[in-house]
Amino acid sequence: MSAETAKSSTESDVSGLDYEETELKLGLPGSSRIAGSELERKRGFSETVDLKLGGSGGCNLDYLTAESSDTRSSGAGKLPANKAQVVGWPPVRSFRKNALKSCTYVKVAVDGAPYLRKVDIEMYGGYQQLLNALKEMFSCFTIRNSPNNNERRLVDPLNGTEYVPTYEDKDGDWMLVGDVPWKMFVASCKRLRLMKSSEAVNLAPRAPQID
Amino acid sequence: MLGNGDCDDGNDDRCSLNTCGIAQPNSRPAAAASSLVGLPPPFFDQVLDNVLENVLCFLTSHRDRNAASLVCKSWFLAEAQTRLELFIGNCYAVSPARAIGRFRCIQSLVLKGKPRFADFNLIPLGWGARFSPWIAAMAPSYPSLQRICLKRMTVADADLVILATSFPSFRDLTLICCDGFTTAGLAAIAENCRQLRSLDLIENDVEDDDDDGVDWVSCFPPGKTCLESLVFDCVGCAVNLEALESLVARSPSLWRLRVNDYISVGRLFRLMARAPQLTHLGTGSFSSFDGEGDFRASLESAFMASKSLVCISGFRDLAPEYLPSIYPACANLISLNLSYALITTDQLKPVITRCHNLQTFWVLDSVLDEGLQMVAATCKNLRELRVFPLDATEDSEGSVSDVGLVAISEGCKKLQSILYFCQTMTNAAVVAMSNNCQDLVVFRLCIMGRHRPDHLTGEPMDEGFGAIVKNCKNLTRLAVSGLLTDKAFAYIGKYGKLVRTLSVAFAGNSDLGLRYVLEGCPKLQKLEIRDSPFGDTGLLSGIHHYYNMRFLWMSSCKVSVKGCKEVARRLPHMVVEVIRDRLEDDNSVAMEKLYMYRSLAGPRNDAPPFVKLL
């Protein structure tokens, strides 16, 4: 099982497509792999691998199921076992790929901070890495897990102010980060705002889980 | 099609002056002195030469001229002396010295370098196609040079400096998919080319770091300019906005302006106001930058006032609230490029339903099949469609499918060129297109999932592509994908008699497939194959034809070094390059990449260590 897991991890890891990120997971927050997270911002993919190995086996089965449903016919139509990303395929010029990629650059604002930063949210494999990146970026924060639910909050240790990561989606609504599956978030997030918890009370969390 | 300036290798005739974005010139020289009155009785030869030169000057197509030059020696000489436009499809096919030696009074040069698969990272950096030896040879020899169009060449800033200072009549520079230069090179062009009419930079890799760019826009001389076309959407650094506005304001002949994504709508409408005569507009980011404000009213006024606009592109960072600004211009549009704009079907609807005259449309698959149905319902004159993938990976959810393709085929019967990315397809849809759109010249279907069969029947996609080559009698360019057996290639060989460019990836069963094509397609010029099980037998089956081709590319196939050596042995004028990704693969039997091409110049002397010339 572990070998199979590793292989499928590599496949989706390399292809950048992560089926289980679309699953709402009940796993414990702060999967232990995240400890080595300093370099995550540049290593979204490898982080994804770590997550999977730490995650529940059910997630990987989901990936395999999803994959086999793609293979609609057997025999000649069988997909090669190793679906690692192939160089130069699909044939889209890097110029175009990069230009479209920039769609996923979002501005990050922190209440009370005078500057904006920009992050490429596509670079991260999931919410955990994103939060870690934010933590690093605004270096004053630490991440605290709320004991009563699985929300993540960022805390400024100097004054104990808690910030809740929120985002504005395509429809202009402000939502709590972590409400929707990761890929949906990537596709719909227009900008991020670390909102003071005290102001975030009217953003009701819908599904208070962040993996 | 010209509108979006993407000069794909499809049709060499089109990638001559026209697609290089240069206004169609009347390239006939001033009438040569044809009067013989008052001269001593000339020899018979001289009469013939004079007549010939006057007649030949009406031949502009390089193919026609090539044919004329083969008639006899005096035609060869007359043609060589009167050719004004030099088209070199492979920069390594001939040496600069030889080209210059034959053609003495060139005014316009089109030069292409790397093979197309370089665009997809299949060729390591430093492979070649440097412009330097060419410009060095041309600078002293072509004082009347006016136009240069380069595609997939490596162009250094130093080259641009030489260019800028060597040709007093220089007017048109077009660089497509080139690399190696920075804004410093652009500054040299701006500053020194006083007759500059067009500077068209299309999808180049301009190597500045964001912060270090030179202010090249300020380098244009003061006063009125003759600028007609300025395309710089690929330049990845900020430009001096005041200088740009001033430049546009003092360029009364400007009809095409395509700006980069450092231009927000706040600046865009001001540029448009300075150039109400524009016909082609690249809109930059099409959003407002922080703190700039809301420019919807100003932008809409600008589009209402720009009555001549026929081609709009850009939208690099589209803020959807600005999209309605273009509505006033839609009815006049011939060409619309939304392929960088992440828009939904609903956002597309009010735009596309106004575009009754559209002939060229590029879009992202985020508009879904429904979006394409809208296109089909409105754009009855559509000639060219390109649907690009938002998520260019194999496993992404399909956004467009056979449904969209069928809709297009039913609504846009005049379609000539299509590039369509999808996850899966059906034979029925492709067959439908072959029946409905018989004017197709270019059919490029990219089923992103490798080896994907027809998702309804489970069959290979052979029948669909077979129908295309059979029914579309004008087809010259074809790209195939999906699960394909040798049968598909049998069809191509049997029916694809006009096919010049063929792109194959992850297809076929055996050498037979390659054989069918090489034996069956007499017009085949460019064949690029990757990851297909074709080996030496297939390779050798084309020996009779390779001298008629521009190039053959095969990567990750079953060809061996031995087979390549055999080709090299039997065809001494072929240059056979084996390109390795890793230097230590010297003695491995299975080889990665084969690139071979006919050449009068012999093996090149600038090959990097990872290229072995057999």
Q: Which ipTM did the prediction report?
A: 0.84
pLDDT of the residue at B522: 97
Q: What span, in angstroms and rounded, lies between the C-alpha atoms of B298 and B293?
A: 11
- Closest among B443, B518, B511, B515 to B481, alpha carbons compared: B443
Please say whether the beta carbons of B168 and B193 come within 8 A. Answer: no
Task: Work out the minimum CA distance from B581 to partner chain A, whole angstroms.
Answer: 12
- Identify all chain A residues contacting B531, using CB atoms and an 8 Å cutoff: 86
Task: Work out the minimum CA distance from B188 to partner chain A, whole angstroms.
Answer: 25
pLDDT of the residue at B529: 97
Task: Work out the minimum CA distance from B401 to partner chain A, whole angstroms.
Answer: 15
For residue B64, report the phi and psi dihedrals to the nearest 5 degrees.
-65, -40
Q: A17 CB near a chain B CB, below 8 Å?
A: yes
pLDDT of the residue at B586: 53
Q: What span, in angstroms and rounded, lies between the C-alpha atoms of A96 and B313?
A: 14
- Identify all chain B residues contacting A83, using CB atoms and an 8 Å cutoff: 394-395
- Sign of the four-CA dihedral B4, B9, B10, B14: positive
Tens of pLDDT, residue by residue over A81-111, are 444 568 889 999 988 887 776 556 677 877 7
- Residues of chain B short of pLDDT 70, as ranges, are 1-47, 209-212, 582-590
Q: What percent of chain A has pLDDT over 90?
A: 2
Q: B205 CB near a chain A CB, below 8 Å?
A: yes
- Identify all chain A residues contacting B507, using CB atoms and an 8 Å cutoff: none
pLDDT of the residue at B562: 92
- A76:B485 CB<8 A: yes
Per DSSP, the three-state class of A191 is: strand
Statement: the pTM of the whole predicted model exceeds 0.80: no
Instruction: Summarize chain B as % helix, strand, coil (round to 5).
Output: 35, 15, 50
Point out the residue among A77, A93, A100 whose CB comes nearest to the CB of B453. A77
Instruction: Tell me which residues of chain B, numbers 537 to 596, contact chain A at a CB-CB cutoff of 8 Å.
Output: none
Task: Work out the minimum CA distance from B592 to partner chain A, whole angstroms.
Answer: 13
- The H-or-E segment that residue B359 falls in is none
Q: B453 CB near a chain A CB, below 8 Å?
A: yes
Residues 6 or more apart whose CB falls under 8 angstroms from that of B561 comprise B578, B589, B591, B614
Q: What span, in angstroms and rounded, lies between the C-alpha atoms of A122 and A152?
A: 20
pLDDT of the residue at A79: 39
Task: Work out the minimum CA distance from B25 to partner chain A, whole angstroms.
Answer: 31
User: How far apart, in Å, do the first and last CA atoms of chain B sit?
Assistant: 38
pLDDT of the residue at A196: 83
B254-277 in b/e form (b: 16+ CB < 10 A) is bbbbbbbbbbbbbbbbbbbbbbee
- A76:B530 CB<8 A: no
* Nearest chain A residue (CA) to B260: A99
Q: A94 CB near a chain B CB, below 8 Å?
A: yes
- B450:A96 CB<8 A: no
Q: A81 CB near a chain B CB, below 8 Å?
A: no
pLDDT of the residue at B103: 93
pLDDT of the residue at B49: 72
Point out the residue among B177, B451, B506 whose CB comes nearest to the CB of A77. B451
- The H-or-E segment that residue B569 falls in is helix B561-570
pLDDT of the residue at A115: 62
* Nearest chain B residue (CA) to A74: B458
In terms of C-beta density within 10 A (0-12 exposed, 13-18 middle, 19 or more buried), how is residue A137 classed?
middle
For residue B404, report the phi and psi dihedrals to the nearest 5 degrees.
-65, -40
pLDDT of the residue at A7: 40
pLDDT of the residue at B583: 57
- Identify all chain A residues contacting B177, using CB atoms and an 8 Å cutoff: 93
pLDDT of the residue at B61: 87
Q: A88 CB near a chain B CB, below 8 Å?
A: yes
Residues 6 or more apart whose CB falls under 8 angstroms from that of B328 comprise B300, B303, B304
- Identify all chain B residues contacting A15, using CB atoms and an 8 Å cutoff: 393-395
Q: A80 CB near a chain B CB, below 8 Å?
A: yes
Task: Work out the minimum CA distance from B119 to partner chain A, whole angstroms.
Answer: 6
pLDDT tens sequence for chain A (211 residues): 444 443 444 443 434 444 444 444 444 444 433 333 333 233 333 333 333 333 333 333 333 333 333 333 333 333 344 445 688 899 999 888 877 765 566 778 777 766 667 777 877 888 888 888 887 776 666 666 655 445 567 777 677 778 888 888 877 788 888 888 887 888 788 888 888 888 777 665 544 444 4
